Amino acid sequence: MIRAQQKPLVEIESLIGQAKNVLVLGCGTCTAVCLAGGEKEARTLAAALRVSAQIKGVQREVRHSLVQRQCEPEFVREVEEEALWADVIVSLACGIGCQVMNERYPERLTVPGVNTCFLGAPIEHGVFDERCQACGDCILHLTGGICPIARCAKSMLNGPCGGSQHGKCEVNPSNPCAWQLIYERLLSLNKLELISAILPAKDWRSARDGGQRRIVREDVRL
Amino acid sequence: MDRDCPEVTIFSCAYCGAVPRELALRAGLRLPASVHLIEVPCLSRVQADLILSAFEAGAQGVLLVGCEDHNCHHQGGNQRAKRRFAAMAALLEQVGIPRTRLSLWQGGLGDPRAFLAELNSFLAAIAGSPHQSQVAGGSLDQGAAETTC
C-alpha cells in the first residue's frame, strides 16, 4: 500500500494560512493503515489545529471527516457539503487523494497534510519498508520475489555490487543488501541459476522517465 | 469549585492506577472539584486525540496514571503508554501547550501517598504557586486527609 507520514503541525498551519473554515479530510484506505491519515489521525489533527488556534487567538472552525477512498471521484462526492463549507481542505490522503479533491472541488483549495513516501509493507507494527517503485515492468519472478529496483539502493538488475558487508547495504547499513536477500532466497528455492542469468538493461520508459503514465482498459470503458 | 485550583483531567488505568486513588479516597481525601478523573481499561488506550479533547474542554493539565514498569495488568500496555507519552508531549509542544502540562505517573499498588504527592506536585507546577495546590495536607494514616486547594 501507499505509505505516508503526517507533515509537522507548523507546516500544516502555514498551508492553511488565514482560512476561517478548515476541513481535515482523512482517507480510510492506505494512509489509515499506515496510521498517518485515517479517521483517528484526522480527528487528532483537527483537535490540534483547534487548540493551537485557541492559544494563538485565531478565529477558526476546524471540522474533520473521512472518505473511504479519497483517490476515487465517486467516493469524494460524499463530502460535497463539508468540502464546500470549508475555505481550505487539509487532505490526509496520499498525493492522489489530494489531487482528486482539487479536481472534484476546483473552487476550494485542498492542501496536503501528509508527505506521500513510498509503496511498502509493514514489517512490524509501526514500521514500514519500501517494497515497490511502480516501475511498470515487474521482474519479481526472476529475483526470488525480492525487488532489486525498490530495495537495492542502486536499483541494480545484475547484482550484487560488491559493496555490501555482512549482508548490509553499503549505502545505508541499516538496510539489508537486496541482492544478498535475492541470493539466499534463490538458494532456498534451488533456483540459483537465475542469479547467473544476465538481465538486459531496463527499459525505463514504463517507469517515470516517460512522464505521467496512463492505463486504458478499453474493455471496461463506458 | 475550588477557584484557585487548576482544571486537571486524570486518565487513570482501571487497575494499578485506580487502587492508590481509591485508597486515598477511602482515607478521607476529597479531590478538588477541578480535578476530573476518567478511568480507562488500560492507559495505552489514551492517545493524542483524547488528550487534546481534554485541553479543548478546558483542562490546564492532563495527568496519566498507570501501572508500574513490568507490572502491567495486561501485556505491556504501560510500556506502550510510555512510548506514546513522549510523542504526545511533542505534539502538545507543537500545538503551543508546554510539555509540563502533561505528566505520566506509573505508581505501585497500594501507594496512595505517592499518588497524592504526584498529583500535588503536578497541580503546583501548573498553578505556579505551591501553596494553592495542596490537595492532601492531612495524614493518611489517621484517615484525616484534607483539601486545601
With respect to residue A220, please indicate whether it lies within any of the assigned structural domains.
no
With respect to residue A44, please indicate whether it lies within any of the assigned structural domains.
yes
With respect to residue A128, please indicate whether it lies within any of the assigned structural domains.
no
**Grid coordinates representing A153?**
539502493
Nearest CB to B52; choose among A8, A10, A44: A44
* A87 shares its domain with A148: no
* A151 shares its domain with A194: yes
With respect to residue B80, please indicate whether it lies within any of the assigned structural domains.
yes
| Full domain range(s) for residue B89 | 8-132
* A7 shares its domain with A80: yes
With respect to residue B120, please indicate whether it lies within any of the assigned structural domains.
yes
With respect to residue A193, please indicate whether it lies within any of the assigned structural domains.
yes
Q: Coil, strand, or helix at residue A73?
A: helix
Nearest to A9 by CA among A48, A58, A39: A48
pLDDT of the residue at A146: 98
* A94 shares its domain with A172: no
CB contact under 8 A, B96 and A52: yes
- When pLDDT is averaged across residues B32-46 and rounded to a whole number, the result is 89
| pLDDT range class, residue B17, cuts 50, 70, 90 | low
With respect to residue B41, please indicate whether it lies within any of the assigned structural domains.
yes
With respect to residue B48, please indicate whether it lies within any of the assigned structural domains.
yes
With respect to residue A124, please indicate whether it lies within any of the assigned structural domains.
no
Last residue of a domain, one of A118, A143, A172: A118
* A92 shares its domain with A145: no
* A54 shares its domain with A80: yes
Determine contact, residues A110/A15, Cβ cutoff 8 Å.
no
Nearest to B66 by CA among B92, B95, B105, B98: B105
Determine contact, residues A20/A76, Cβ cutoff 8 Å.
no
Residues of B with CB under 8 A from a CB of A: 47-49, 52-53, 55-56, 91, 94-97
Nearest CB to B48; choose among A8, A44, A56: A44
Which CATH number is A89's domain given? 3.40.50.2300
Last residue of a domain, one of A118, A144, A172: A118
With respect to residue B3, please indicate whether it lies within any of the assigned structural domains.
no
CA separation for the pair B4, B19 (Å, rounded): 27
In the 8-state DSSP scheme, what is residue A165? B
Determine contact, residues B1/B33, Cβ cutoff 8 Å.
yes
Last residue of a domain, one of A83, A118, A153: A118
Chain B residues near residue A44 by CB distance under 8 angstroms: 47-49, 52, 91
The 10s digit of each residue's pLDDT in A42-70 is 999 999 999 999 999 999 999 999 999 99
CA separation for the pair B19, B33 (Å, rounded): 20
| Full domain range(s) for residue A187 | 134-210
Q: A20: Cβ–Cβ under 8 A, 6 or more apart, which residues? A: A59, A60, A61, A87
- When pLDDT is averaged across residues A23-28 and rounded to a whole number, the result is 98
Which CATH number is B101's domain given? 3.40.50
Q: Is the pLDDT of residue A164 over 90?
A: yes
Name the residue of chain B whose CA is nearest to A6's CA: B91
Chain B nearest CA to A51, separation (Å): 6
* A139 shares its domain with A112: no
| pLDDT range class, residue B15, cuts 50, 70, 90 | confident
Chain A residues near residue B52 by CB distance under 8 angstroms: 44, 47-48, 51
With respect to residue A125, please indicate whether it lies within any of the assigned structural domains.
no
| pLDDT range class, residue B136, cuts 50, 70, 90 | very low
- Check if A54 contacts B (Cβ < 8 Å): yes
CA separation for the pair A22, A174 (Å, rounded): 40
With respect to residue A155, please indicate whether it lies within any of the assigned structural domains.
yes
Determine contact, residues A179/A161, Cβ cutoff 8 Å.
yes
* A139 shares its domain with A106: no
CA separation for the pair B19, B65 (Å, rounded): 11
CA separation for the pair B11, B39 (Å, rounded): 6
Determine contact, residues A36/A77, Cβ cutoff 8 Å.
no
* A102 shares its domain with A16: yes
pLDDT of the residue at B148: 46
Name the residue of chain B whose CA is nearest to A40's CA: B49
| pLDDT range class, residue A104, cuts 50, 70, 90 | very high
Q: Would you mind telling me the total number of residues written for chain B in this entry?
A: 149
| Number of folded domains that form chain A | 2
With respect to residue A219, please indicate whether it lies within any of the assigned structural domains.
no
